[in-house]
């Protein structure tokens, strides 16, 4: 009871917090209880979603424990943030980072020896230096905190071996409690941490659901991602927004394409290939943006505390649910409603793309299930809101034009016609909001999917009817109504087999191919026999 009262008084007086959130309370109490026990190297693994006040869970106990609190961050920007947080609350702390002179280090170590500071903030590389190990070994360490602990597993066995080397170091130092914090952890991360960090004892696990109820999940199917991005960011989705691309070049291309169509909307690109000063400048730029768009690889995010990001768009689907939830979790740290959007162009089928392609399973539920979590209530996704759109913008217009004028247009002449801003024929201006390049890339996707074909000579477009089925009937009807009787005069309504229903053929789910009647004499009869590539 006394402990509880102390926690609340400190929260109020030092941090200005009237009531702790339930999970903060549980974690803080747990840390302080373990501190009173005699066993060394007890461990705690805490998964708390972003925006739930994670840092307070170790900042507050650091005031109550006897020995040092050492906090390890994977990124410099996170260290600096934390130093700012401690100093703003009037708590002295020592930051040990790269590039410090010997004199400065000595002064910092003196502060520790004289007990001027009880908190050390550092990274794995610095902590592994002999002088730092020697200094830390002189003190009693009550809490060793590892924030963003999933990086130990993700990066430690790759390009940041110092992260994995924390394990033996922890075993060597006189540490009372090891605390690992992360926003999301799947079984692989938990197992990895048990293997690398909690080698002496298995940790107690405090796990809040990784669900972020203020984020809703949406999927847009598209023929051209650049076009969809541009319309969504201009008309439908709130900004500031981040667009995640899977390559560095991808961020350049997407950003430049967006800039061309929307010179008035501020946008930049960001990736790990830029030098540190550029990245810092970009982070500062985005921090102050109210309307901006940042095109980035997954290098952006951790350590950036921008709270009002309203939309996170994934141009490509990431490899796994953990990465997706981490990245989409950059949205809405302020707790206000935000959107996580995925663009699918139909070529992605494997892995996480299957989760997003589903039109029947709740996206949120499927994502959390990948982390081994169960969800009782979905606070918003396309499926649960019954707003799944399977249609791709522009597809109907393209197909209609090709069906009505088979073997007439080449991909470039058709894209020029459809994106033409002036009245030329009934199809010009149909896709007037698109650029010619966007229409062409949409056509290329349809060609790649085998829904449309081109002749070998002159590359004239035609529809591969066998790839459609149901669609055929309405297109056929359209063509018949528009030209069938008027132009040649010999076709009549009954000649057109639009009324014959498509028959499902077995497991593939494909509908039966249309076999044209020889009586109709339509040009498309000559086209249909082209084999559909499997």
Residues of this chain that interact with Zn ion (CB under 5 A) are 362, 364, 378, 381, 384
Between 314 and 364, CB nearer to Zn ion: 364
CB of 378 to Zn ion, least distance (A): 3
CB of residue 321 vs Zn ion: minimum separation in angstroms? 14
Pick between residue 10 and residue 384 the one whose CB is nearest to Zn ion. 384
Q: Which is nearer to Zn ion, 312 or 367 (CB)?
A: 367
**DSSP 8-class letter at 386:** T
Paired tokens of 179: 């605390």
Closest CA to 326 of 314, 344, 343, 308: 314
Q: Cα separations (Å) of 219 from 8, 211, 232, 255?
A: 43, 18, 12, 21
Q: How far is CA 389 from the centre of its chain?
A: 20
Return d(Cα 488, Cα 516) in angstroms, integer. Answer: 18
Q: Closer CB to Zn ion, residue 223 or residue 362?
A: 362
Pick the closer one to Zn ion by CB: 163 or 381.
381
- Phi/psi for 207 (5° steps) reads -125, 115
End-to-end CA distance of the chain: 70
Q: Is the distance from CB of 8 to CB of 29 less than 8 angstroms?
A: no
Q: In angstroms, rounded to a whole number, what is the distance separating the alpha carbons of residues 151 and 207?
A: 18
* 3-class secondary structure, 218: strand
Q: Give the nearest distance from C-beta 334 to Zn ion in angstroms.
A: 22
Q: Minimum CB separation from Zn ion for residue 368, in Å?
A: 10
Judge whether 70 and 139 are in contact, CB under 8 Å.
Answer: no
Question: Smaller CB distance to Zn ion: residue 216 or 326?
Answer: 216
Q: Are 86 and 59 in contact (CB under 8 A)?
A: yes
Q: How far is the CB of 380 from Zn ion (least distance, A)?
A: 7
Given the complex with Zn ion, which of 76 and 361 has the nearer CB atom? Answer: 361
Strands (E), 127-254: 141-146, 175-182, 204-207, 215-221, 241-244
């Amino acid at each position: 009871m006394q402990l509880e009262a102390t926690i609340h008084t400190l929260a109020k007086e030092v941090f200005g917090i009237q009531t702790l959130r339930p999970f903060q309370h549980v974690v803080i109490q747990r840390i302080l209880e373990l501190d009173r026990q005699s066993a060394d190297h007890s461990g705690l693994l805490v998964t708390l979603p972003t925006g739930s006040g994670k840092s307070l869970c170790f900042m507050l106990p650091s005031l109550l424990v006897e020995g040092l609190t050492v906090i390890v961050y994977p990124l410099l920007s996170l260290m600096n943030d934390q130093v700012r947080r401690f100093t703003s609350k009037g708590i002295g702390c020592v930051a040990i980072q790269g590039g410090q002179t010997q004199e400065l280090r000595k002064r910092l170590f003196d502060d520790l020896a004289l007990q001027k500071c009880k908190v050390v903030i550092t990274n794995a590389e610095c902590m592994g230096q002999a002088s730092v190990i020697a200094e830390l070994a002189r003190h009693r360490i009550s809490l060793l905190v590892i924030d963003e602990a999933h990086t130990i597993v993700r990066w430690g066995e790759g390009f940041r071996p110092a992260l994995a080397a924390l394990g033996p170091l922890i075993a060597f130092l006189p540490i009372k409690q090891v605390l690992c914090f992360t926003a999301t952890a799947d079984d692989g991360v938990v197992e990895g941490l048990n293997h690398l960090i909690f080698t002496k004892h298995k940790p107690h696990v405090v796990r809040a659901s990784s669900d972020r109820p203020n984020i809703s999940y949406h999927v847009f199917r598209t023929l051209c991602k650049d076009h969809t991005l541009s319309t969504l960011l201009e008309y439908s989705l709130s900004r500031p927004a981040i667009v995640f691309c899977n390559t560095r070049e991808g961020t350049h291309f997407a950003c430049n394409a967006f800039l061309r169509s929307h010179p008035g909307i501020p946008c930049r690109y960001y990736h790990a290939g830029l030098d540190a000063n550029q990245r810092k400048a970009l982070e500062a730029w985005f921090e102050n943006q109210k309307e901006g768009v940042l095109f980035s690889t997954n290098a952006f995010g951790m350590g950036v505390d921008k709270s009002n990001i309203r939309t996170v768009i994934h141009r490509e689907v990431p490899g796994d649910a953990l990465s997706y939830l981490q990245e989409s979790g950059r949205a809405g740290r302020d707790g206000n409603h935000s959107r996580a959007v995925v663009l699918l162009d139909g070529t992605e089928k494997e892995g996480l793309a299957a989760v997003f392609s589903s039109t029947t399973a709740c996206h949120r539920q499927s994502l959390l299930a990948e982390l081994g979590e169960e969800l009782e209530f979905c606070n918003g996704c396309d499926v649960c809101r019954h707003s799944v759109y399977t249609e791709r913008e522009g597809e109907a217009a393209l197909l209609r034009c090709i069906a009505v004028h088979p073997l007439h247009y080449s991909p470039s002449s058709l894209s020029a016609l459809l994106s033409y801003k002036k009245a030329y024929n009934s199809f010009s201006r149909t896709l007037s909001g698109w650029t010619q390049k966007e229409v062409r890339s949409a056509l290329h996707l349809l060609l790649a999917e085998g829904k449309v074909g081109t002749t070998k000579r002159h590359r004239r477009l035609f529809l591969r009817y066998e790839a459609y089925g149901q669609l055929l009937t309405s297109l056929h009807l359209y063509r018949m109504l528009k030209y069938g009787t008027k132009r040649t005069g010999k076709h009549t309504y009954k000649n057109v087999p639009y009324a014959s229903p498509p028959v499902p053929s077995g497991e593939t789910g494909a509908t039966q191919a249309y076999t044209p009647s020889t009586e109709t004499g339509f040009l498309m009869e000559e086209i249909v026999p082209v084999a559909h590539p499997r």
